[in-house]
Amino acid sequence: MIREILTCVFLLLGGVLTLVAAVGVLRMPDLFIRMHAATKAGTVGVSSITIGLMLHFDTLTVTSRGVLVITFFLLTAPVAAHMIARAAYRSGVSLWLLTRVDEWKAHGDNED
């Protein structure tokens, strides 16, 4: 009984966070903020869905694969988003008009 409740909670949480990531990609004003929304909420959403599946199936093979999926997402999504954002910044993608702090500008990172 408690396993089914936890499975539902993790699947619903993952679905909501994935929906938040999708809405963030559609509604945020610039590329950098969109990538932040997609990376953070997407990674936690996929991890929650995977935990829900691990609880539901409760086998060693599903659990080990689930741990690998979560590890893969935690290791690759933030690094990939950072690399894409840095390449976009260096290629001249403009920031949102209301952006107040540009930390990369102080380092001269926009120069080739």
Q: What is the pLDDT of residue 65?
A: 97
Rounded CA-CA distance 84/23 in Å is 20
Q: What is the pLDDT of residue 26?
A: 94
Locate 79 and state its tokens. 């690094």
- Among positive and negative, which fits the CA dihedral 27, 31, 36, 39? positive
Q: What is the pLDDT of residue 49?
A: 97
User: What is the crossing angle of helices 2-27 and 31-57, to 10°?
Assistant: 160
Nearest Cα to Cα of residue 3 among 75, 54, 47: 54
Which residue ranges make up each domain of the chain?
2-107
3-class state of residue 46 by DSSP: helix
Q: What is the pLDDT along the chain (112 residues), one digit of tens a residue?
A: 999 999 999 999 999 999 999 999 999 999 999 998 889 888 999 999 999 999 999 999 999 999 999 999 999 999 999 999 999 999 989 888 888 888 777 776 555 4
Q: Which residues contact 104 (CB under 8 A, 6 or more apart)?
A: 86, 89, 110
Contact criterion met (CB below 8 Å) for 8 and 57: no
Side-chain half-sphere CA neighbours of 27 within 13 A: 7
